[in-house]
Structures are given as C-alpha cells and as structure tokens.
C-alpha cells in the first residue's frame, strides 16, 4: 500500500510538470537551435493551403508561413492535419504554430495566443455586373439570395428580407447569380477575390460590404511571449518590405490585410 501511494504521488507530480507551459523563451530557443519552425496546416483549403497539380503544398497561408520562417532565420516544416484536430495539435506539441485561416475569437484567446491579424475578410453582397437595382443589403428585400441555409451569410440575407435559394457553398451560389436563378449572394470577400482572380471576366461585382470584419492570425500556445513577439515582428517586416503585398496580389489580386 505504501508503494502504491508513493507511486501514485509520483505520477501525479509528473503529470503536473508535463501540464505546465514551457519556460518563457524555451520554445523560441528550441526553434532557433533546430533551425525549423513547425507549422500546422490543412493542405486541403484552397487558396490558402492546398496541393497544386504537381503535388506541392502551396497557397497564401503557406507562403506567409515561409516568409515568416525566413524572417525568423529558420526553415518552415509544414505538418498537415485535418481541421478538427489542427489546433489540438498545438496542445500535443506537434506544431509550434498553426497557419490555416484561424479566426481570432475571444473563446480561442482564452486558451491560445494569436499574432497580430495578417488577413481580413468581410461579408460582401455579390450581384451580376449589370445589376443596378441592388446597391445595398436593404435592397435584398423580396429578392432571391443564393445561400448555404445554415451559414451566417444565409442568416444575414434572410434578415435583410431575401428569399433564400439553398446551395452547397460559394461556387454554387455564384453560379446561380451568374445564370440569373438568384439575384444575389452574400458571401466571404476572400472567396470572391479568389474567384475573380481565377475568372477575371466573370460578370459579377460587389454591390456592398459589411463594415465589420473578421480577422485571422497565427495561433500558438500561451506562455511564449518571446516567440509571439518575433512572429509579430516578422509579419510587420514582410508587410514593410513588400513581401506580403506580392503574396496577396498573387492569390487575391488585392490587399487583404485590412
């Protein structure tokens, strides 16, 4: 009994030690020493992180990760995982950071740290290029809006008085607008910019956008202010030297930082 009690106490003490966050600066020292920044990402979410025809991992977030790692003086090592377990990979120390369009929310901030925002998205009202009747969200009243029925965009369209035409996502929604089977769609500004980058001649336009924006950042474990500061410094540097703008123009044809 005495041995069991002692063993149990030792195990409990070990669990407490393992559960404690790394000492300040420890992760940054390890990254610098190893010369590698481990980056968690999906690899299946174009245009942010995906595989091109050759099988190479590419995308906006991938190039941001590469640029940040370069400023830190290390190499990026991308480790792919499914979205549902991606952030949890930080807890398991599988990654140092996750760069995968992770929205900055108060709920996530309770457990993790975020860099300064590096990309911004807004809800935008998309119509055919020749549509002069719909100029704002209020003009959706009585109109047909192509939307994913359970999405926040769908709820916004419904609140604006639109009749919803159910779709499976952005691609189907935009096609219904193009063919005239819907008058408009409310969707993500980044998805629209990606679409127009791929199909610049498509006759659609943004009629209005919401003032409120959603921001994404590089997410990492709490308790590592030195690493967080270095990442923020790297993000500022790639914006100052034009690297960020080159990447943004490549994937979106626009500045998506604000």
Tell me, yes or no, whether 196 and 175 share the same domain. Answer: yes
- Count: domains in the chain: 2
Whether residue 173 is contained in a domain is answered as yes
Do the domain assignments include residue 101?
Answer: yes
Integer CA distances (angstroms), 84 to 2, 58, 90, in order: 43, 21, 12
Q: What is the Cα–Cα distance from 154 to 186, expressed in whole angstroms?
A: 7
Looking at the structure, tell me whether residues 63 and 149 fall in a common domain.
no
Rounded-to-integer distance, Cα 95 and Cα 214, Å = 24
Domain check: are 6 and 111 in the same one? Answer: yes
Pair (67, 143) in one structural domain: no
Looking at the domain assignment, is residue 257 inside a domain? no
Within this chain, do residues 103 and 221 fall inside the same structural domain, yes or no? yes
Residue 81 inside a domain? The answer is yes
pLDDT value, residue 11:
46
- The CATH number assigned to the domain holding 27 equals 3.40.190.10
Does some domain include residue 7?
Answer: yes
Residues 200 and 226 in one domain: no
Both 222 and 100 in a single domain?
A: yes
At 24 the pLDDT is: 54
187 and 230 in a single domain? The answer is no
What does the pLDDT read at residue 23?
Answer: 57
pLDDT by residue for the chain (258 residues), tens only, comes to 333 444 444 444 444 444 444 555 788 999 999 999 999 999 999 999 999 999 999 999 999 999 999 999 999 999 999 998 999 999 999 999 999 999 999 999 999 999 999 999 999 999 999 999 999 999 999 999 999 988 899 999 999 999 999 999 999 999 999 999 999 999 999 999 999 999 999 999 999 999 999 999 999 999 999 999 999 999 999 999 999 999 999 999 999 998
Both structure tokens of 220: 């990492």
Structural domain that includes position 155: 122-213
> 222 with 99, same domain?
yes
Going 234 to 240 to 241 to 246, the CA torsion angle's sign is positive
106, 9: one domain: yes
Q: Within a domain: residue 258?
A: no
Do 87 and 135 lie in one domain? The reply is no
The answer to whether residue 84 is domain-embedded is yes
Q: For residue 151, is it within any domain? A: yes
Same domain, 89 and 105: yes
């Amino acid at each position: 009994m005495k041995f069991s009690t002692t063993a149990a106490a030792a195990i409990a003490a070990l669990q407490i030690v393992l559960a404690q966050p790394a000492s300040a600066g420890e992760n940054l020292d390890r990254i610098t020493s190893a010369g590698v920044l481990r980056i968690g990402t999906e690899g299946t979410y174009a245009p942010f992180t995906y595989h091109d025809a050759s099988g190479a991992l590419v995308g906006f977030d991938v190039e941001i990760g590469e640029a940040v790692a370069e400023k830190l003086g290390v190499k990026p090592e991308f480790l792919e995982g499914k979205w549902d377990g991606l952030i949890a990979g930080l807890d398991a120390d599988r990654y140092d950071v996750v760069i995968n369009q992770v929205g900055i929310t108060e709920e996530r901030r309770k457990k993790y740290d975020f860099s300064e925002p590096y990309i911004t998205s807004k809800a935008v009202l998309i119509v055919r290029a020749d549509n002069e009747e719909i100029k704002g969200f209020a003009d959706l009243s009585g109109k047909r809006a192509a939307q994913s029925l359970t999405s926040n965009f769908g709820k916004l369209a419904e609140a604006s008085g639109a009749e919803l035409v159910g779709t499976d996502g952005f691609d189907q929604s935009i096609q219904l607008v193009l063919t005239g089977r819907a008058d408009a769609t409310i969707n993500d500004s980044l998805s629209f910019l990606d679409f127009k980058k791929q199909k610049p001649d498509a006759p659609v336009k943004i009629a209005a956008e919401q003032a409120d924006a959603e921001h994404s950042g590089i997410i990492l474990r709490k308790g590592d202010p030195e690493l967080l500061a270095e990442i923020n410094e790297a993000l500022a540097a790639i914006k100052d030297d034009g690297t960020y703008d080159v990447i943004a123009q490549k994937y979106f044809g626009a500045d998506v930082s604000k």
